[in-house]
Structure 1
Amino acid sequence: MKRQFATSVYVIHENKVLLLHHRKFNKWLPPGGHVDPNELPSNAAIREAMEETGLEIELINHSPYEFSFPNAHTLPTPYMMLLEDIPSSKKEEQHQHIDFVFLGKYISGSILANERETLGVRWFTKQEVNDIPEEDLFPDVRIVLDKLLS
């Protein structure tokens, strides 16, 4: 099965999390998308957040180490990594995403939803996440949100 690198980022601000209503899947998801060729996953997460929401974010690094030498330096470490099964669609066959899942914090900007990809973007409290119907949220997203907002 074909595999592609992807990234997603849960952006937290004032005890709320940023989610977008994904047009293709018709579900609430964190911002994210494919990692472009030769692009670092961390840069893809920042780029996708800006493209889909209009917000500038900063990633939260989960690495216990941070250093920079002429020949090597650390990169932002994801919160987790997921292997996700993506069903076939009109445009592509079934495949998998190797998803670098980051946490981020809001830096600046106002929400400007990318209407080509989303049906809306908004901040959710824990209670509002709990009120999202089961069919509108992937189970793994709900588990991560529950942990992040607890």
Structure 2
Amino acid sequence: MNQDNVDPRILQYNERLKNTLRDELLNYKERFPEECEPDQVLEFIGNQLNLFGRDSQEGHITCSAWVVDPQRSAAILVRHRRLNKWVQPGGHIEPFESPLSGAVREAAEETGITDFVILDERLFDVSVHWFPEGKDGPAHFHYDLRYLLQAPVKADLYANNETDGAAWIPLEQLQNYSGEETVLKMAEKTWRWSPAGKHVRE
């Protein structure tokens, strides 16, 4: 990929962030040694200068939020307009933004909730998936970094211009809304997770 048109400050920020992301991914691998996706993300980080640029033909790092209720019995899914499927809130990372900050921002934009608890600053899940051709250019990979958030009890939801709805889905009913293996995997991780929270307002 040609980096000539990329703001050099963004490339410098990306370089500084690489070590942090490597540490997060290596920690994740220790907790989930059976998963292969972290190795794919580590390889991508090692080969790319502009980690989040949407003009990369190879793909870019994205972020998602797995948002649960205080009882951790339900999660928020949004109906993605382009993909026409129920998925977790998430999207692209803005310049000079960390993946965790991006996940909180995207969750707020796609659900209307402005008050979250970051249940864990470590990576909750990692996914590498093919994204179809569209307004962002040719088909490409999303190297998605996912974080665990908690929303207030009975928080009201609304849909933004990129989604056709947002809903609280009981974890035991997720398979009725999504056949995505990674969504169902995050439900299983929710049941196994142990708490260590931090509060944040978007």
- Alignment TM-score, normalising by the size of structure 1: 0.77
Alignment of 1:103-118 (within 5 A): 103-107=148-152, 109-114=155-160, 116-118=161-163
**Is the 1:19–1:30 contact (alpha carbons within 8 Å) kept by the matching residues of 2?**
yes
Instruction: Deviation per CA, 1:23-59: give whole Å up to 9, x if none.
Output: 1101111100001111011110110011010113222
TM-aligned CA distance change 1:126 to 1:81, over 3 Å? closer
For residue 58 of structure 1, the aligned residue among 92, 117, 122 is: 117
Let me know the Cα RMSD of the aligned residues.
2.0
Q: Following the alignment from structure 1 to structure 2, what is the Cα–Cα distance between the partners of residues 91 and 33? A: 12
Q: Following the alignment from structure 2 to structure 1, what is the Cα–Cα distance between the partners of residues 172 and 122? A: 29
Q: Which residue pairs with 1:138 in the alignment? A: 180
Unaligned runs of 5+ residues in structure 1 are 62-75
1:7 and 2:53 matched:
no
Letter in 1 for 2:63: T
| Higher fraction of helix | 2
Matched position secondary structure for 1:79: strand
Q: Which residue pairs with 1:25 in the alignment? A: 83
**Is the 1:29–1:137 contact (alpha carbons within 8 Å) kept by the matching residues of 2?**
no
**Is the 1:46–1:58 contact (alpha carbons within 8 Å) kept by the matching residues of 2?**
no
Greater relative contact order structure (CA < 8 Å, 6+ sep): 1
Letter in 2 for 1:60: L
Q: Following the alignment from structure 1 to structure 2, what is the Cα–Cα distance between the partners of residues 8 and 2? A: 19
**Number of residue equivalences:** 132
TM-aligned CA distance change 1:80 to 1:129, over 3 Å? closer
Instruction: Deviation per CA, 1:79-106: give whole Å up to 9, x if none.
Output: 1222222122355201111211111111
Alignment of 1:62-141 (within 5 A): 76-89=121-134, 91-107=136-152, 109-114=155-160, 116-132=161-177, 136-141=178-183
| Higher fraction of strand | 1
Amino-acid identity (%): 28
Unaligned runs of 5+ residues in structure 2 are 1-56, 193-202
Q: Following the alignment from structure 1 to structure 2, what is the Cα–Cα distance between the partners of residues 26 and 138? A: 12
Larger radius of gyration between Structure 1 and Structure 2: 2
